[in-house]
Chain A
Amino acid sequence: AQTVTQSQPEMSVQEAETVTLSCTYDTSESDYYLFWYKQPPSRQMILVIRQEAYKQQNATENRFSVNFQKAAKSFSLKISDSQLGDAAMYFCAYRAPEKLVFGKGTKLTVNP
């Protein structure tokens, strides 16, 4: 069974600085998708970034980028120039092929 592990229950960062959230996963599949979702308190879960496993190039979306290491089954999220609005729960998720399997999440606090 596929599993997703987020080893950092909580992280904090100073505003304008950079933070990296870790994620590892376990799968025997070769073609799959990985996602980072953001869930602000009492608000909707929204997609931050996604990565196709067959692409070697790391995905980037503005201040958000990933470090995808397929052989190591690692998928970390880097947030640059952190903003107060980045404070939220961040969930790493794996999809192959029909449903998402989530990690337990990392709570990110952004300090002014």
Chain B
Amino acid sequence: DTGVSQDPRHKITKRGQNVTFRCDPISEHNRLYWYRQTLGQGPEFLTYFQNEAQLEKSRLLSDRFSAERPKGSFSTLEIQRTEQGDSAMYLCASSPTGRFSGNTIYFGEGSWLTVV
């Protein structure tokens, strides 16, 4: 069990470009979450999947953002036409379901995005 893995860890992009982040959850965790964290703030929920189904999206997830989890394993978060306000750390997390799991959510190290 290698934990939640995110790639790339850092990305610098020009305004208007598209970027994609990948997340590999802990194996057999069927829930996968995306959060955004800006400096000095707590993480803010963006969206989550149960297996391949995207069950909830925050209002923070504008039309320029899209997340997928095609086979219920890894997930991608794409940001189109990036803006400077998108600069943040994007955190992925996963958890098992079921009461036995204790409902703990495990986080990856995050992907830092800087839009210049």
Contact = CB atoms under 8 A, between A and B. Distances in A.
Interface of A: 4, 33, 35, 37, 43-47, 50, 91, 93, 95, 97-105
How would you classify the secondary structure of chain A's contact residues: helix, strand, loop or mixed? strand
Given A43-B109, A44-B108, A45-B91, A95 B103 contact: yes
Interface of B: 3, 33, 35, 40-45, 48, 55-56, 91, 102-110
Contacts, number: 49
A98 B106 contact: no
B105 A100 contact: yes
B41 A100 contact: no
A98 B50 CA distance: 10
Nearest to A32: B103
Nearest to A102: B42
B56 A98 contact: yes
Nearest to B107: A45
